[in-house]
Amino acid sequence: MARTAAPKKSTPSAKKKPLTYAQAGVDIDAGDEVVERIKPIVRRTYSPRVMGLHGAFAGMFRLDSNRAFKKNYKNPVLVACTDGVGTKVKLAAEFKIYNTVGIDCVAMNVNDLIVQGAEPLFFLDYLGLSKLDPVNTTAMIAGVAKGCEIAGCALIGGECAEMPDIYAPGDFDVAGFCVGVVELARTKSQPKVKKGDLVIGLPSSGVHSNGYTLVRRIVKDAKLSYTKKYAQLGTKRLIDVLLEPTRIYAKEIIGMLEMVEKSCAKRQAISGMAHITGGGLPGNVCRALGNDVDALISSKAWTPNPIFAFLQEHGGVETAEMFRVFNMGIGYTIIVRPDCAADVIKALRAFGEKPMLIGVIDKGKGDCRIV
């Protein structure tokens, strides 16, 4: 009778621990902790128009008439924009200063929005992270919320994406999305920029959020120290001067528009506005012009923040290039009819601004020239 061979005994292998998402690099529990940490921070930005629960899949915001609302709209036009902070975040990441770039993110969006005369309504942020650390991530979102409070808009949602395969350890990025509203009548009433109009500038707080690739190159080539205090810059370290948040002009501009629309109703005071971002004054004021006029900006009309002379000196950058890259101390411009300039300046001062007459409109081809 044939016999079958007995099966060989196998040596049991050691059991592997089950693989988790956290071991792969994404910590769900840390994300849940952030959601709870930011709840009171985000709620500080809410107005009565915000609806829904914290942590919902999408935010809700009412536009309809209601006695509880401070302001209602007859013929609302929605205005939307999106922007980020650029390579300024690399300095924030390197020096682990997380609570300011969120303000920058709101500013870069809101300052674009108000150029259309729109009032900011709500904001959403996006954080891309190598690692979701609850404390650091909360600090970033707190910065966004602070920016929303300054701008007078609600932070109604956002996303924190932990992606260790995309971002190097310690790196992160922040971007935002803003929606505002403007009355249809205001969009139709803005007149064309004409020869003789005046350009009013509002001061910046420093470099704002443009040109940081050049900034970092200057610091590297000149062997400067980010943590050193330079006499030219006062009592702050270089890194603190460079991470000074971008100014948010929303309440001042919207308040000024409402005041001037009453005092100069028949004269149509404002003919154009510009947020001075990448491209500086030459690359942004021209966006408010037609192809039959130029803006002539006098560089002697104001004194730029000390950081600009500091960067130019140590980087050996030509003046024309400085104006093409940086705001050079002017963060926002308003083009006005000459007979309404006094009203506009008075209104801006009433909201705490320090407006300066920096230029005039002349015949041309749609350019902005520094003279």
What residue spans define the domains of the chain? 24-188, 191-370
Stated pTM of the model: 0.89
Q: CATH classification of 24-188, choosing from 3.30.1330.10, 3.20.20.70, 3.30.499.10, 3.30.420.40?
A: 3.30.1330.10
In three-state secondary structure terms, 361 is strand
Give the pLDDT band (50/70/90) at residue 229: very high
Buried b / exposed e across 54-91, counting CB within 10 Å, b at 16+?
eeeeebebeeeeeeeeeeeeeebbebebebbbbbbbbb
Give the pLDDT band (50/70/90) at residue 19: confident
Report the 10 Å Cβ neighbour count for 280: 23
CATH topology of domain 191-370: Phosphoribosyl-aminoimidazole Synthetase; Chain A, domain 2 (3.90.650)
Rounded distance between C-alpha atoms, residue 371 and residue 368, angstroms: 10
* 27 has a pLDDT exceeding 80: no
* 5 has a pLDDT exceeding 50: no
* 6 has a pLDDT exceeding 80: no
Rounded distance between C-alpha atoms, residue 127 and residue 159, angstroms: 6
* 138 has a pLDDT exceeding 60: yes
* 4 has a pLDDT exceeding 50: no
Rounded distance between C-alpha atoms, residue 280 and residue 100, angstroms: 22
- The arithmetic mean of pLDDT across residues 318-344, rounded, is 96
* 293 has a pLDDT exceeding 80: yes
Cα–Cα distances in angstroms (integers) from residue 358 to residues 3, 46, 202, 264, 336, in the given order: 105, 37, 9, 22, 12
Residue 2 confidence (pLDDT): 45
Rounded distance between C-alpha atoms, residue 297 and residue 370, angstroms: 5
